[in-house]
Amino acid sequence: MSHGSDPTPLRSLPARKGLSGRLSVPGDKSISHRALMFGALAIGTTEIEGLLEGEDVLRTAAAMRLLGAEVAHLGPGRWRVAGRGIGGLVEPADVLDMGNSGTAARLICGLLAGHPIFAVMTGDASLRRRPMKRVTEPLAATGARFWSREGGRLPLAIQGAREPLPLDYTLPVASAQVKSACLLAGLCAPGVTRVVEPEATRDHSENMLRHFGATVRVAAQGHGRVIELDGQPELRAAPVMVPGDPSSAAFFVVAALIVPGSKLVIENVGLNPLRTGLFQSLREMGAVLEVGAPRLEGGEPVGDLTVSATGLTAVDVPAERAPSMIDEYPILAVAAACATGTSRFRGLSELKVKESDRLTGTAELLRAAGVECAIEGDDLLVQGCGGPPPGGGVVATQMDHRLAMSALVLGLACRDPMRVDDGAFIATSFPNFIPLMNQAVGAEAIATA
């Protein structure tokens, strides 16, 4: 399943019985990207367990190799990175191709801004449409220079700063990617880099910087936070255990809630409170999500989730929750489609600049299943069916893996099968999604159409 492959149309049949068993989802994508990058910047050898081996993260591994780090694959999920130290990356001999990964592209812009090297970055057709100006504009204040296509789009050429300046930047829109890019650039700059975010976003970069020995201070400010990083630290190699990705667990949680008779245990899920807005929203809808064996690994809270089928009621999700569940709105919309009443998700402007216009794509997904919905400004309204939606439609996935997986989960709970025009992109974040879901359903519910 690669981006250059022919489309892979898939169909999803109504589940004949509930999901059951115990399973583990792939490693957290955000933490996997950062483990490779911080390992490349550390002194010594970083051992990583549970790394997500989807295409997006493999692009980051390839980029770190081109930038001079030694990156070795030791076995399933097990990787070793011999780092170069802060400021030690080398000029890449080839173009950095980030595939479909906006996270990798934006974070590596920050990484490169602080190194006095020249690099060119590109991506697939979807990534080349996504805006990069939101990171290149603040990063230019380090002294780095950027050349791009109109609108700040890839391909992008980067000349890093010889003597990078620390940043003092207030994000206009909450974005963990922009925040992380600024912090990565600040590693190479003397003095203190300061980033102010209007809403608290996922803090994996801050947690991992501390894990590798950097000094990071975080203070609350209104709904948001002020993050300060002391520049030019000596990062020291540290082992990283990557927890299961809550964004991947989300598909199984919702599937188990909406398919009658389900009871499922999802092991080793990352439960960082800045990532669990979906779980909070589902609990407000009446879901019972039990957390077993809570623990801390590498500065990140982890636990085992038990979820059972539940009748759900509509929810009103406030805009300030969006940063903690920005990737989960399509699958929450699937839960809302099966709930009783009309749900409203507020403040979703960020969804318009994801892998696709995910706001419009989510609405079209619901309509393909016969579910009534509307977009009002930046809000999405979903009229729940109070049970199984009609189904029967074909979803245009727009090269967006989360839309594809959400549509396939919805098909399990519909009266008639659902189809997606292309599921090839699921491999970017969740390579074994289909066999794992079929294992939980106990049947070949999802297959090539």
Is residue 300 a contact partner of residue 243, using CB atoms and an 8 Å limit? Answer: yes
Strand partners, 345: 317, 380
Catalytic residue among 124, 327, 400, 422: 327
Q: Are 235 and 38 in contact (CB under 8 A)?
A: yes
Which residue, 282, 275, 321, 281, is CA-closest to 301?
275
Q: What is the DSSP letter of 111?
A: H
Respond yes or no: is residue 56 known to be catalytic. no
- Helix boundaries (H) for 130-175: 133-139
CA distance 309 to 219: 39
* 8-state DSSP, 278: H
Residue pair 373/412 in contact by the 8 Å Cβ criterion: no
Give dist(CA 140, CA 340) in Å, integer: 49
Residue 293: helix, strand or coil by DSSP?
strand
Q: In whole angstroms, what is the distance from residue 408 CA to residue 448 CA?
A: 11
Q: How many CA atoms lie within 13 A of 135 on its CB side?
A: 32
Which of 82, 84, 66 is closest to 74 using CA atoms? 82
3-state secondary structure of 269: strand
Identify the three-state secondary structure at position 405.
helix
Query: Rounded to an integer, what distance in angstroms lies between the CA atom of residue 156 and that of residue 163?
Result: 21
Do 441 and 412 meet the contact criterion of CB atoms below 8 Å apart?
Answer: yes
Catalytic annotation, residues: 327
